Structure formats: C-alpha cells, structure tokens
Structure 1
Amino acid sequence: MFRRQGAGAEKDNAISAAKADGVAKTSQTDAGKAYESTIEQASSVSSANNDKANSIREKALEDVVEVDADLEDENDPEIKDIPPEVRRVVSLHDDTTLPTITFRYFLLSIIFIIPGAFLSQMNQFRTTYAPYSVFFVQIASNYVGLWLARVLPKWTVPLPWGCSFSLNPGPWSVKEHVLVTITAASGATSNQGASSIAISDLYYNRKIHPAAAIFFMWAIDATGYSFAAIARQVLLYDPQYPWFQALCQTALFETQKKNIKSPTKSARRQMHIFWAVLVGITLWQFLPEYIFPMVSSLAFLCWVAPRNPTANFIGSGLGGMGFLNLSFDWANISNYNAGVPLFLSPWWSQVVLFCSFVFCCWILLPAAKWGGLGHFHEGLMTNRALTADGSKYPIADLVTPQNTFNQTAYDINGPIYVGVQQLWSMFFDYASYVSAYGWIAFFGASQIRTAYRKFKNRRKVAGKGINHQYDDRLNVLMRSYKEVPLWWYVVLFLCSFISILVIVAKGILFIPVWTYIIALATGAAIIVPLGWLYAISNFQLPIGTFNELLYGAMVQVYTDGSYRNPVGASVYGSIAGDAWYRAQYMLQDQKIGHYMHVPQRAVFASQVFGIILGVPINYASMSWIIQAKREYLTGEVVDAAHIWTGQSLATSVTTGVQYVLIGPSRLFQETIFKPLPYAFLVGAAAPAIVYALHRLFPKARFDLWNTTIFFSGASIFYGNVSTGYLSRFIGGFVVMYWAYRYRYELWSKYNFILAAAFDAGFNLNMLLIFLIFGSAKVISAPNWWGNNADNAERCFALDS
C-alpha cells in the first residue's frame, strides 16, 4: 500500500542486489534440495518410528522456511504474484504427511468452543465488545495439544466396519492446530438469529420453542457457509487478495511452529513479547471493566466543568460528542462494531473511518443540538422509538394477539418518532449498502473480470479432478489435496433450506415463505462485492437495516394486517445478512487453510462441525442473558456504565416497528423521514464522483477514500458510546502508518503478534470477570471516585 522507507527499504535493496547476482536463487535452490532430501530420509524411517519421522519432516520445514521470505526469486513465476507481505509470513513448502483431523482435534475443539460460544453471544447484548479471541484459542490450544501429545496413550480404538483411530498419532501437528482454531472461529462466535429470538421474548412476550430456535440459528449459519461457494474461485485463490485477518493468524501459526520445533532468537522474542502483552492487557482490563471504569472514557472537559451541561455534552464519550475524549479500554479502542481493527486494517481505511466519526460526532451532533438540524429534537441520543413528546413509545401495543397491526393503538399514541442521530444513521446505512455495489463497479470490476476470465480458462490437473486457474506457489502446493466438491456446498444448503422452510411454513418465525426465498437471493447477491471489499481492506460492511426495509416493503401487500409482527423484519434481516457474514467467515478461514497448506476438505468439515457444536451454546447464553439482564435490555433500568444497553436490539425493534407496522410508504411520508429515500441516490452517486476525481487526479489517491467505509462509519449509532475513536486513530497512526513506513522490519515481526495478544488478553479478562464476579453470585464493583454511581465519567450535568 505504502512505499517502504528506512531500514526495511535498505534491506530490500540489498536483497534485490543479491538476487541480481544469483545468490538468493542458489541459496533457495539448495534449501529446497535439502528439504527434499530430508523428506526422503524421513520416508525411509519405519512405521514404528513415526514420531521420529514426523520430527525430521517438521525440522526440515523449519530450516527451509528461514530462507523463504528474503531469498525467494521474485522473478520466479510461482513467486512473483504473491504479495511481499504474504511471502514474509507464509511458508512456501509443505509436508503432506502431517495429521489433520484426529482425536486430539475433536477434544480440543469441544474444550474451546463451549466458553467461546457463550461469551460471544453474551457480547452481542453489550454496547461495545471485543470478540472471543480466536488468537486466545490459537495460543492455548497449541500448548494443550503439545501436552496431549505427551500424555495420551498411543492406543488404537476400533470402530465398526473395520475402521479405527489412534488416540495419539504422534507429535502435535501444526495442521491439527490450524483446524482446532478454525473450528473455534466457526463455532465460538455469536449467532445473528439470536437477536430475533431475544426481541420476540423481551419486547413481545412470545418465546420461540427451543428446538425451532436452535434449528433456525444453525440453518442461517449453514446457509452462509454454503454461499461461500459463490465467491470462492474469485476471491479465495487469487494471490492478490491478502485477507489481512487470515494473514495475521498465519503469522502467529508460523511463529508458534518455529518456537516449538527449532526456536530461533527472533521466534523466542516474539513469543516473549506476546505473553508479556497478553498478561499486561489481562490485568489492565480489570480497571476499565470492573474496578476503575473512569479510564474507559476520559472526558477531560467534564473534569474542568463537571456541572456544566454544555461542556459535559461536548466532552462525554458515554452520551455526548466525545470531543478530545480518550479511552484506555481495549473494548472501546478495538470496538469491532466499527469494523476496522487497529492492528489489522490499512491506515487509509482507518483514516476514512475516523473522518466519518468526526463528521457525525463533532459536526452533525452539535448542529442537531444547537444549530437546528432536523425537525424533531427530542431524544437526540437514543435509538428507541418515541412519541411526539419524546417519551418511550409503547410499541408492544401496536401488535394484536392475532399478530396483526393495531390501528387503534397507533391512532391513540400517534406517529413514531426517532432522534435526529438515529435518522442520519438510517440515511447513511442505506447509502453504504448501495455504495458497496457502486464502488466495486468503478474500482473493482477489472479485478473481478480478470479473476473470472482465469476461472473460465481453468485447466484440470491430471488425475485430481481439481480446477486451478492460478499458478503461484501456494496454489501449486494445494494441488496435493482434493478440492471440496460443489455438491458438498449444495447438500449443506439444502439441509439449511429445508430446516428454515419448515419452521417458516409452520408460522413460527413471523415471515411468509416467499419472503424467505427473496432473502436468500438478496443475501447471495452481496457475497462477491462485500467479500472483495473485505479481502482488500479488512473492512466488513455491516449490512444494517436495508434488508429490514425491503422486508417491510414486501409485507405491505398483506392488506389484512397479517405478518405485521416487527420481529419478522429481524428474522428476514438475519437470514439475508448472515448469508454474507458466514460466507466471509468461511472464506477467511479457508484462506488460513490455504496459507497453512491444510487440506481443503478438512477445513470445510471443521467449519461445519464448529456450528453444529456452537449453536446450542449460543442459545443457552442468550437465554441466560435475557433472564439476568432483562430490565437493562428493555430500558426499564439504566446501566450507569452504558454496557448492558441492548443497543443493537433497540435499533432492531425500532426499525421493525417502522418498516413492518408502519410501512415504508407511510413512514417516508412523515416529515422527519422524507429525506431517507435520497440516501440511495447519494450511495450510488458518491463512488462515481470519487472515481471521476481519481481519473482526473490519479496522484491524489482518491481511490483510497472509500465511500462505503465512510457511509458505514457514519451509520454507527454513537449515542451510547463515542469514545475510543480518537485513541484508536492515534494508535493506528503509530502502528499502521509510522511503524509500517519507517520501521517495517519491526512492524513485520511484531504487528500481528501484538494484535493477537491484545484481543486474547481482553477476552481472557472477560472470562475471568465472569467466573470470579458473575458466575455464581453477581458481585458489583464498589463505588468510589473512579467508579461513581451517578456517572462513570463524572459528567454530572450530562443531558442529551
């Protein structure tokens, strides 16, 4: 992305000179020959010495990996298409004999999915969060795997039909390690379908049968995984798409592998730094999360004028503009709701996102509060449905016991209003969705066309039945394994399709059958454009409420008022939206398998196993949260720390009422909602304008000012939390701009390791807080100066 300078550039120049003299090529050739010779030696070892043979193979890999990054010949046709940052991380050699799916794999998957699925689903009800870290699983599972390889007996367990498996097939394999991590990434996550089930219970007192709920949650995940087949050939195998999150995890896998088998001084230092940062973050997070919440949002203006309403609103990051507000809480700094992680996202994407934050919080918010922006000024900092006087709208009254629209209640309470901030959040939400298509049409179409032409001109490798259109080293290595056949994806889709179809047909999920078919179609349509954006920028576009709007428009055809339960919009949105989210997860983890040379079929099986195991745990977690935090989630009790606000649920409820009960046609006729349809025009025009500027002024790099990321950032509801963005911008400047440009060698060694340590430390802290202070009896932190019961920031006059 940026031209390297400083020490890193000098080293690159030296290496280039060496290559010109033929030195690097010779060294790499010698290393490759040595590796092949050692593998032949390992193959000659008898089956009784499998442990020794595996050790020889892995040691050979370690020896040759050391020269991969710097001594590969960039003119080699198998090397030149692989990006430099990938070559510096990924091994370009493979041992096809390493074990993959073993007894140890299943045991470790179960151990790590159960707590992960629980915590991840719990996070969905929090205002800010950092997800259950796959890096934590990656670190911990490696040590447990090594321990199991030492203590498990080497027994062979017989199975029916002449099959058997070994409890301990030999040394702990890096491919087993990768598969355990991928399975956890699949199963130890939250589930989109839980929102619909929770809203039905919390707001409408309709509890969905547990069996139907679990099958629905599993099926939407499986649908997304099957949809990954749509973009796999275009976005997965093409080396020009780095998939930064996958590259980050690969860097840690490679470091762990080196540190175990043949630790170099550099590898040992990397692991020492990883553990030091992990322990430090784990201990530090007790302060903002429990003991000293004030450090989660340092509102300096509130310290100067704690009783001044204006200063409080400007400075507060928990209900205000967050101006000059800093945070030392990793949940706020990382805030994956924003979609641009500090250590993993290119600097340009972080700049665009910060600009959207400044535009919303430091320009639009004061304009709305004091400048007359908008016609309705009640409830500026809330995303809940309101009446004309700003009080909470009794939305449950709008649904009759027969699941139809209650016109009488609507006439009594009047039209639904929302705050100005929620209004522009909806506007930019629509704009970002349309912009995604426009951006790829102008800036990504040529790449997609090239990939498609390669796919059409693919050739079959003799005897394998595998289609390959790329000839880089990584793709050549993967030809040793059988590709996942298309019919596997088709079967997975049919299982999910039938499950949801039956549930919908029985009237359990509030939507008509034909809208389910359209949800599948709209979900499939966005896989390639949004996958392309994520593959190049590490930005995952939140689908937002466009799907709910579409559903609301469709159900208006039922003039008798049937299918007017607002939960239907959330159900539809989870089906269409999770198709993209889960497809992205599958593609990203398959890219990890690609980088680590893990058989494609083993990766596919591990991902499906993950959701089978994780979904029931998701449901159990959701049920516990609803029971324990019901008053906070419904807004009956206000959480002083703004953690248990159920912000995403509140937004879903509001949009469901607007789009399903009121209907888009009636809604957009109301004065405050009339500007919203213009968002589609803005979303379509903005990429065209930026593209024209880019063609006129190519050196100005207008192509980096991604309108989709900007609109998506502007659509974030900052009413509850507007802190952490300035801290992340400062950190991003240091890490992804200064260090990347001027300390590239240091950055390449430690950046991804630090990313893993921060996320792993935060999630370990969350787990410890839950076990120590919340698992048996909830123990609240004592109130003191740094944990004021009235306001954690000490903004005592805050009034939005």
Structure 2
Amino acid sequence: MATYTSNHIEKIDSLEDEKDVKERDFTTTQVLSPDEADSVDAKDLGATREDVLAAEEKVEGMSLERCVKIITEVRTMHKHDQNFPTDILIKMNEFLDNPDVLANPDNHPELVHEMKLEAVMVTENSPYAEVRGVVDPTDDFDMPTFTIRVWIIGVLFSAAGAFINQLFSIRMPSITVGTEVAQLLAFPFGKLLQRIFPDKEFRLFGRTHNFNPGPFNRKEHMLITIMAAVAFSTPYTGYIVFTQALPMFFNNSYGYDFGYQLLNTLGSNFVGYGLAGLTRRFIVYPSYCVWPGSLATLALNKAFHSDDSQAVPGPFGKLYSWSRLRLFTVALIVTFVYWWIPGYLFEALSYFNWLSWIAPHHKTFNMIVGFKNGLGLNPLPTFDWNMVSGVWPAMVLPMFSITNYFAGVIISGFMIVGIYWTNAFNTAYLPINSNKTFNREGGRYNVTRILDDKGMFDNEKYQQYSEPYMSAGNITLYFWFFAAYSATLSYTFLYHRHELNRGFKSVWRDLKNKIRARRGQAAEEDDDEFAEDIHYRLMKRYKEVPEWWYFLVLCGALAIGMAGVGAYPTNTTMAVVIYGVLLAIFFAVPLGIIKAVTGSTVTLNVLAEFIGGVIVPGDALAMNYFKMYGYIVTAHALSFANDLKLAHYTKIAPRYTFWAQMIATLISSFVCTALFNFQMSFKNVCLPNAAFKFTCPGDYTFFNAAVFWGTIGPIKIFGKGGRFTSLLSGFGLGFVLPIAIYGLQKAFPRQHWLRQIHPVMMCFGALIWAPYNISWIWPALVFTFISWKLVKPRYLAFWAKYNYVLCSALSAGIAICAIVIFFALQISDITLDWWGNSDYDKGCETAACVLRPIPEKGYFGPEKGHFR
C-alpha cells in the first residue's frame, strides 16, 4: 500500500470537480490521463479512494505507540493469512523489524504514515478490500429488525422453500430453490407489506411493536435471507428414511413412522446449530474469518438498500456509474434469457465436449479429454455459467484458494493416470473416472447379493459374488480424502494456533468476568482489542446470546437424536449418536477456520463412514447414524456459522439471529418430515419408471455407500491385507504436507509466493474427481483470474462495487430460469429432441470406455471363496 498523501486526495477531488460523475450513465466514457489514473490506481493504494479518505480523517489521532501495537498484533494474526495482501505484510515487516524506523520515525515519514493509515484501516474498518467493498463500517442501532414483516415473510419463505426443495430432492434431475431467489423475492414482498400495513402499534411479550415501523430495511432483508438459508437445506434424515423404509433398500417398516422421522430430523438439525453457536468465537467473530462465499449475499443486500450511483474508474479508461441494483437487474434479465439456450434449447453447450466429437471412439483420447467419462482436459468445456460455477463459485472465492485447488486437481490427475495405465487395483478394466462401485465382471456392484434377510452382511453370499472394485478416479479421491483430514489438523495447529489461543482466552476471560460480576468486582479488560475490526466492536453494543443457550440446544438435540435411535427397533446403540457428535466437535473449529478463510468445505462424510464402519462392523444402519451425526452436524454447524457471519456483518442483534435460525430450522424440520411419507407414496417411487422422474439417485448412492462402508466395512477393504490398504498412507502424507510447506516458508522467507500455498486446499482440490473432472474447474479458474488478478488490482473501486453483485445476478437468473423451465416444460415431459439435446454424445462419452477388456474367463481378481 503506497503512501496516500494530501496531494493524492486533492488530485482525486479535482477529478470530481471537473466532471459531474453522479449524472453519468454506465456506458459513458471518460479517458483518464496516466497521472490521473495512477492517483486512483488500486495496485498502488491497496484500497479504494473512500477507504483511504476515511482513514486520513483519523490518522492524526493515531499515535506511534498505538500504531506499533496494532501493527504488531495484525502481523501476528495475518502473517499466514493468504487473504491479507503480501505487499502490506512486507511493509509491516519493514516497519517493525527495522530498529531505525521506531528510533527515528522522522527519517521514515512515508512508511510511518502508511502504517498509521493501515492501523486506522484495520481497526476502523476491515483488513480486507473485498469486505470493505460490500460491508459498511457503520451501524444504525435503532433500525427495526425483527419486525412483523420479517416474521411473515420469513416463515412463508421458509415453509415454501423447504417444501419445494424436499419434494423434488428425489427427482432426477432435481429442482432446487436457492437462497439467492429468496433474497431477490424478499425485497418486493417487504416493500409490499410496507405499503399495505398500517402504522399501528401493539403489545406482544411485554414489548411495543409496530405493524409498519418504516421503510423495509437491510437488516430485515438479511434476517429473512438467513431464515431462508437455514430452511432451504433439506434434512439428511431423508436419505436414512428412504433407504430404510422402501422395499428396494432395507425394507424396515418403522421407517414410515412419523415420530421416528421427526426425532432424527430434529436431532441432527439442532445439534449442528448448537455447535455453531459454541464455536462462534473461533470461526465467526475474528476479522480473519472472512467467509468469502457470503460476500455475494452481502453485495446483493447492499444493492437493494444503498444509493451508490457515484461513478468509479474502471476498465478502458472509463467511469462507471450504474448502481449495483441496476447492474443486478440487467444482468439477471440477460442471464434469464440466455440460459434458455444451454438449459433447454441447446444442452450441448453445457457439456461442450467438442474434443470428443473429433474421435468419439478413440479410447485413450477420450479418457483424457472426455467431459462426462474422462479426465476433462478441455480448454473450452462449457458456455453455461451454471457449469462454470457448479463446483467452484467463480469470481467469488479468493484467487489463492482456487489456484491451490486447481494445483491439487492437476497433481491428483497425474496420480489417476499412473494408477490406471499400470492397472493398479485392477482399474484398467473399469472406467477411468467413476464414482460407482463395480464387481469383478466390470458391472455395477449389486449390494443386495451380499445381504441376509435382515439386511446384515452374509459372508457366504459375499464369497460367491465379488469383492467391490473402484475406478482410478475414485481410488485417488479416497486417498486424498484421508490426506485432507490429517492435513486439516496439522495445518490448523501450525498456522492458526495463535487464533485458537485467543479464542480460548476469550472464553476463559468471559467466564472469569461473570464470576467477578457476581462478586462486585470490575471486569477484566480485553487485551486483544487492537486485533478486532470495527464490526466486532459495533456488535458489542448488542446483547450476546449466552453460551448456555447454545449448550442447551446441543444437549436437547442430542437427547432427541438418541431417542430416535433407541426408541425404535434399530438394533443400534444410542452411543453412535454421541460418537458422531464427538467427531463433529473435534473437527468443527479446524474445518470452520479453513472454510472461513478459503470459502471451501472439507466434508467429513468419508471419515465418518470410515470410523463408523470400524466401530459397528457389518451394520450399515448403525454406520448411517454415526455418519449422520458425524458428517451432517459439522456441515450444518458451518452453514449456520456462515449465517451468523452474515448477521455479524449486517449488525443484526445476535439474539434476533438466534431466534430466526431456530424458527426457520423448526419449520424446515416439520415441513420436510411431513413430506417423507407423501413422497414415498408416489407410484413406483425410486424405480426407473417412477412418476414425475422421482427415481431417487441420491438415495441409491447413499444406500450403496451404507453397504460398502457399513455392511462390507472398512476393515475388509482397508484393513491388513485388504485390497486398498495402501490408500491409508494418505493420512501420513496429509499430516506431513503442511509441516513441509511451513518449513519451506520459514527457510525461504523472501519467497513470498510460498505464502500463498495452502496445503489443505491442494488436498481438497483432489476431491473433485469421481464424477467431476478438470472441465468443471478450469472455467472457474479463468474467470476468477480475470476478476481477482486482472480487474481487482487495477480497478479496485470498480471491482468492489460490481464483482459480487454480478455473481449474484448470474446465479439468481439461472435459478429463476431453471424453475420456470421445470414447471412450464420439464414436469410435463416437453422436450426438444434434436442433435443438440440428445445425440451430441458419441462413443466413449455415451458409455464409458475401458483400457483393457475383461479377461476371457469373464472376470478379474481372485477366485470365488478367496475374498477377504
């Protein structure tokens, strides 16, 4: 960050005096001279004009002593933070490590001034430009928040969204209403209630309320969005209920019992919420916990509730003055119209596997370039934004994150090639990149052939059928899953132990202060005040949610979940619920920190399956309970924590957020549970000829995984002498990888590119395989590079104003278009049958090719009766 002096300010002010930029249209041009452009260039300033002007107003009150304390704490917190600008960190090192700077500050006026600006910036705003662009460092404490309008719209949206998402969750393809749709529709609904509701007060719960407390505001809007985000997530219980009750799966009649369904739904949902609240000091409140994925939501909220027509300099030497809302509206309409082409009229543009058209039957070529059945090495794989951001939200998450992710994709891709072409694990007889499980004849593994009448493992049937086999892509996936889990633990300790220590100190300090207050003693001061940004300090005005509230929710949900297991003939100990929650507690903070910094989630599903299968071998249902509470509780906790960060940024009182999430979760739980039996009543449900295409693809995957991990069990597969035992070396590699990177960073401190390496994200990138491939991530890398490396450093104000709003508009436009296409055409099975929709897949893209044919004897692997 270069020094921003009064000369810079005067030059920028002179630009505004010369042109009335507020009256400019988005397309109006103004070519800036090189000197003028440099004065507002983000590459030099590291902040927008408004950010630095605000800091300049307060820099005179920043003493050198206070500046040193702030910069010292900021450097400690952010020295390993890839989101924090490297050039700023270099300046901090020079400021703190050069004795002459502090001894003779008058000899270094530019550096001292620059560090004072930075100290003001990080304490009076956010340390990150992307946060400053969408979150205001101010708060209206008296702004109405939990209003009647929020109750009405939030409850209706929660119920409607939960109903739609659950009803069509078993359809292939599914239809999903996203949070961006709720956020978009909430604004006109809020404005409508603002117009029709009377300005009349009433008393409720000892407080005075107003039907119409003024204009529909940003806090109300965000609270409705948070309720929708909670409710739109369908409960994981659905997988267990469907696979347990239906005859093509386990066929247990008590799976139809509403009480059983409700107890397990409430238990799994609310345990996650309680855990999120208990970990908020570690993954919500700290400023380094950016939660990048939430910034698009915040940008859209700001677009609806701010007047931002002031022009900003952007590409091609122009000034751009469209408001965020205007850009959002136009982009949404354009996206809605355009997506009819790849979404319905010309579907080949989505899976644009044009390289396969060159030689559709060439096995090796298609295994490398194939979009659907290959590794996806395709420079132009799609014209569909839904595919571009399908795996990775392009332009939203940080560039360092996707770079590490892509590096992991490439490294693991070479691993797949090595495994496949050497026929390791008999993979050459199978498709190269599939998430299916195969038998020794190369067909789909039929798990029902190894079960007895009670759904338990039958070794005699197993020995007469087949061992399970996996593709090279799936084998690689499991190896890197194991690596990601151990890497998460070692990385968190090495790179975030300072932050963890601060979190535990905060918990201990609050506990002591409560004891002091009871004794009439003064509270102990927070010695980390310089590490907190303005948002944390503003939120201190509001009453906090006591820890015991969340703990009570956690314990209550745990008891409900145990009742759901123990009160029915599941033949499963209630202890699996406790084991699962313990796993979630152990990983919630490490995974939460990584999610808050990178925007990506390392899920616990494989680890939960692995441990659950070891604890309860041969019992698929018991393993499912362990998986549900070990995996989905953590996933829900991180999702709820993300919503808590949205409320934190928007300055919504924590207790309002608490009740909004609780209410939305309760509504979603009852609505979705009420639909389970209704869905299972459809004709031929979960069969190929099911009504409304309710073929339950996710439930079949869940059932196969249950039998694979629960019935067969990880001991047979990964234990001593098992076919895939060597994959357990991933745990060792993952644990060592962060240590090696940390050592390189310490050994070569001047190689600043090493600071951008994130070993967990590299492991996470390898998890894209089976069924996804390079074609799903390469376009996101290109668009993110353009946004974060070409536009952002040169036109920071332009990028901060428009980047996240554009992403929200693209996602919302596609979501609305998909809903219209589904209900207007697809639900009635109205299709366009032409080459661009049905015949563009040829050869190996229609049915996956294999490297080697099945041996003449008709199978591969050991003889029957000799399986482990």
- TM-score category, normalised to shorter length: 0.7 to 0.9
Q: Does 1:400 align with 2:452?
A: yes
- Pairwise CA RMSD of aligned residues? 3.8
Deviation at 1:225, TM superposition (A): 0.8
Could you tell me which of 748, 752, 767 is aligned with 1:697?
A: 748
Q: Does 1:331 align with 2:392?
A: no
Deviation at 1:235, TM superposition (A): 2.6
Pairs within 5 Å for 1:685-764: 685-698=736-749, 699-719=751-771, 723-764=775-816
Amino acid at match of 1:7: D
Could you tell me which of 153, 161, 185 is aligned with 1:140?
A: 185
Counterparts of 1:77 and 1:421 in 2: how far apart (Å)? Answer: 46
Change (3 A) 1:23 1:467: closer
Deviation string 1:581-637 (CA, Å, 9 cap, x unpaired) is: 122122221122121111110011101111111223434666677677978x67x68
Amino acid at match of 2:299: A
Counterparts of 2:602 and 2:51 in 1: how far apart (Å)? Answer: 42
Counterparts of 2:825 and 2:524 in 1: how far apart (Å)? Answer: 53
Q: Does 1:189 align with 2:233?
A: yes
Counterparts of 2:258 and 2:488 in 1: how far apart (Å)? Answer: 36
Amino acid at match of 2:759: T
SS of residue paired to 1:526: helix
SS of residue paired to 2:266: helix
Amino acid at match of 1:213: Q
Deviation string 1:213-256 (CA, Å, 9 cap, x unpaired) is: 23312321110110123321223222232222333322332332
Pairs within 5 Å for 1:615-694: 615-619=669-673, 649-668=699-718, 669=720, 671-694=722-745
Change (3 A) 1:99 1:27: farther
Pairs within 5 Å for 1:112-261: 112-121=157-166, 132-156=177-201, 165-200=209-244, 201=246, 203-206=249-252, 207-259=255-307
SS of residue paired to 2:470: coil
Could you tell me which of 299, 302, 327 is aligned with 2:356?
A: 302
Counterparts of 1:18 and 1:565 in 2: how far apart (Å)? Answer: 62
Amino acid at match of 2:464: I
Q: 2:865: which partner in 1? A: none
SS of residue paired to 1:672: coil
Amino acid at match of 1:575: Y
Larger radius of gyration: 2
Amino acid at match of 1:786: G
Pairs within 5 Å for 1:449-460: 449-457=501-509
Unaligned runs of 5+ in 2: 5-37, 63-113, 313-320, 851-868
**Contact 2:42–2:797, Cα closer than 8 Å, also in 1:** yes
Q: 1:378: which partner in 2? A: 429
Amino acid at match of 1:499: I
SS of residue paired to 1:422: helix
Change (3 A) 1:626 1:686: farther
Amino acid at match of 1:442: L
Q: 2:403: which partner in 1? A: 351
Change (3 A) 1:280 1:116: farther
Q: 2:636: which partner in 1? A: 582
Unaligned runs of 5+ in 1: 29-69, 557-563
**Contact 1:187–1:614, Cα closer than 8 Å, also in 2:** yes
**Contact 2:59–2:120, Cα closer than 8 Å, also in 1:** no
Could you tell me which of 570, 573, 577 is aligned with 1:516?
A: 577
Deviation at 1:449, TM superposition (A): 2.0
Deviation string 1:125-177 (CA, Å, 9 cap, x unpaired) is: 68999974323322321221012101123345666x87775432332232211
TM-score by length of 2: 0.77
Deviation string 1:423-454 (CA, Å, 9 cap, x unpaired) is: 22222111111111011112221232244335
**Contact 2:268–2:633, Cα closer than 8 Å, also in 1:** yes
SS of residue paired to 2:352: coil
Change (3 A) 1:3 1:423: farther
Amino acid at match of 1:179: L
Counterparts of 1:3 and 1:549 in 2: how far apart (Å)? Answer: 54
**Contact 1:399–1:405, Cα closer than 8 Å, also in 2:** yes
Deviation at 1:386, TM superposition (A): 2.5
SS of residue paired to 2:139: coil
Deviates more, 1:515-524 or 1:687-696: 687-696
Could you tell me which of 141, 144, 153 is aligned with 1:108?
A: 153
Counterparts of 1:799 and 1:217 in 2: how far apart (Å)? Answer: 41
SS of residue paired to 2:377: coil
Change (3 A) 1:14 1:395: closer
Change (3 A) 1:123 1:734: farther
The size of the alignment, in residue pairs, is 736
Counterparts of 2:570 and 2:395 in 1: how far apart (Å)? Answer: 40
Deviation at 1:382, TM superposition (A): 3.4
Could you tell me which of 541, 549, 553 is aligned with 2:610?
A: 549
**Contact 1:545–1:655, Cα closer than 8 Å, also in 2:** no
**Contact 1:156–1:166, Cα closer than 8 Å, also in 2:** yes
Q: Does 1:443 align with 2:477?
A: no
SS of residue paired to 1:787: helix
Q: Does 1:415 align with 2:467?
A: yes
Pairs within 5 Å for 1:488-499: 488-499=549-560
Counterparts of 1:17 and 1:169 in 2: how far apart (Å)? Answer: 32
Amino acid at match of 1:239: S
Deviation at 1:312, TM superposition (A): 3.3
**Contact 1:220–1:574, Cα closer than 8 Å, also in 2:** yes
Deviates more, 1:495-504 or 1:652-661: 652-661
Amino acid at match of 2:279: A
Residue identity (%) = 20
Deviates more, 1:542-551 or 1:243-252: 243-252
Counterparts of 2:849 and 2:676 in 1: how far apart (Å)? Answer: 32
Counterparts of 1:555 and 1:441 in 2: how far apart (Å)? Answer: 31
Pairs within 5 Å for 1:60-75: 74-75=118-119
